[in-house]
Amino acid sequence: MAITSPIAFHALKNQSILETCLDAARAFTSQYGSSAHLAVAGTAELLQRLDLDWEKIQCDPNSAQEFARSLSKAQPCELVMIHDSQRPLTKPAQFDRVFQALAPTIDAVRPVSAFTETLKTISADRCVEGTIDRNSMKRISTPELIRYNAIDFDGSTSTWFVPLKADAMIATVEADPESTRINSEKEIQLMKHLLEWN
């Protein structure tokens, strides 16, 4: 679990956003018994707020390079599955889809969905210049599942939580619409209303 912001500690319904995400991770890993190891990554300040018996990986998970280097010092494993702590409505079924897609020839898998909104490019003087083709874009979700030996521990940047080796073979699966990310307190309120409405 990657705690990427203090927003994760805000309440959504009867518990924090983070606790809801942890429940989904527990539900998924319970299917695999003792072969699954649970860990949480976050800054020292955020990890101090946790009362968990999970391994704690101190780093800034928003920095791909720092996250990868911290993983290299964590408990050894063959596969690393990283879930964003701000996606509380992600269901275990999405974890399963990601896991099932990791074929022998694939090194990393993550869920994606179509981008349906309209994006405009804006000039330096704040004039609309054009429309970006939404078919050229995807919404990225989590969890990301990565073979440990596909992580580039010396890499500095990535579009994944951690840098991948240049020859890593990647795949995607369909993301559920509910696995949206909560980025602000206003979005928490919107999510609460949606949950009450459903």
In a domain, 191, yes or no: no
Per 3-state DSSP, what percentage of the chain is helix, strand, and coil (rounded to 5)? 35, 25, 45
Residue 64: per-residue pLDDT: 97
In a domain, 141, yes or no: yes
Residue 105: per-residue pLDDT: 96
In a domain, 38, yes or no: yes
Average pLDDT of every residue of the chain = 91
**Computed over its alpha carbons, how large is the radius of gyration of the chain?**
17
Find out whether 24 and 45 touch, Cβ atoms under 8 Å. Answer: no
pLDDT at 151 over 80: yes
Contact residues for 120 (Cβ-Cβ < 8 A; gap 6+): 128, 129, 130, 131, 132
Q: Which residue has the higher pLDDT, 36 or 62?
A: 62
Residue 34: per-residue pLDDT: 62
pLDDT at 40 over 90: yes
Q: Which residue has the higher pLDDT, 74 or 192?
A: 74
CATH of the domain at 68: 3.90.550.10
Spatial distance between the Cα atoms of 187 and 82, rounded to a whole number of angstroms: 22
185: which 2 tokens?
């307190």
Q: Residue 8: left if φ>0, alpha if ψ -120 to 50, beta else—which one?
A: alpha
Containing structural domain, residue 170 = 6-181
Lowest mean pLDDT among 11-20, 31-40, 48-57, 94-103: 31-40
Longest dimension (CA), the chain: 58
CA dihedral 134, 187, 113, 176 (to 10 degrees): -160
In a domain, 198, yes or no: no
> What is the total count of domains within the chain?
1
Give 145's pLDDT tier (boundaries 50, 70, 90).
very high
Q: Which residue has the higher pLDDT, 71 or 31?
A: 71
In a domain, 94, yes or no: yes
Give 37's pLDDT tier (boundaries 50, 70, 90).
confident
pTM comes to 0.90
What average pLDDT score do residues 38-55 get? 95
* Residues 84-117: tens digit of each pLDDT: 999 999 998 999 999 999 999 999 999 999 877 7
Phi, psi for residue 147 in degrees, rounded to 5: -70, 135
